[in-house]
Amino acid sequence: MFRVLSKNLPTILNNSNKLNNIKGTLVLCNNYSTSGSNNTTVAEPHIVERVVGVAAPNKRATPPKVPKRRPDKIRSVYYPEYEGIPRVAAKGFFRITSRGFDYYFLDVRSVENFQKESIVGAVNHPVEKLEESCKDLDKNTLVVVYGEKERGWPQACAGALILQKKGFKNVLALESSIPELVEKGFFYNSEVDSYVQ
């Protein structure tokens, strides 16, 4: 049943044979007239020859492919053992540090690599000794783990996995290299000043 409402009096269009025959198509009430004396509305159904549920063709052209946002980013290799470890890029890490959050910044590379170059504020805890060296850390504080730059960041993820198993609640693996961190505004220590432009 179709109901057309006027100000005071609803007028009901009953099911007619014509309307019963067109149940599979879309009905629009385009033509209508109103009379002011008795407030009645007359609607004439207009049949559109489209089946309900079928969309009209899209007139817009398909947009061109969007280029990747970070083409120089090292794409992750799938390591099933590191699947549940959240990761952060240099930009996200910079946001964390600039907002004043408490965090530990652990560099899990070897002692030799850490002495060659490191980010100011990072503390060296090699992966091999991480289980013993993390005993004194607060388990409720955010921990950002940095490792060697390799595809998939396995060293940082391995360190983050060890910390998660030890009961640390907020652990992030940093997917960034030292030059990328320096570019974002971090200071670094290095034997050779190689990142000055």
pLDDT tens track for 173-188: 999 999 999 999 999 8
pTM for the whole thing? 0.59
Fold topology of 80-190:
Oxidized Rhodanese; domain 1 (3.40.250)
Domain boundaries, the chain: 8-51, 80-190
Length of the chain as a residue count: 197
- The answer to whether the CB of 48 falls within 8 A of the CB of 28 is yes
Pairing of strands 142-146, 103-107: parallel
Residue 12 pLDDT > 70, yes or no? no
**Strands (DSSP E) found in the chain:** 2-4, 11-13, 25-35, 40-51, 87-88, 103-107, 117-119, 123-124, 142-146, 171-174, 188-190
SS3 178: helix
Q: What confidence category does residue 79 fall into, taking pLDDT thresholds of 50, 70 and 90?
A: confident
Q: What confidence category does residue 64 fall into, taking pLDDT thresholds of 50, 70 and 90?
A: low
Q: What confidence category does residue 144 fall into, taking pLDDT thresholds of 50, 70 and 90?
A: very high
Compute how many other C-beta atoms are within 10 angstroms of the C-beta atom of residue 152.
16
Extract the tokens encoding 29.
Answer: 């009430």
pLDDT tens track for 39-58: 555 555 555 555 566 666 66
Three-class secondary structure assignment of 42-92: EEEEEEEEEECCCCCCCCCCCCCCCCCCCCCCCCCCCCHHHCCCCEECHHH
Report the percent of the chain where pLDDT is more than 70. 58
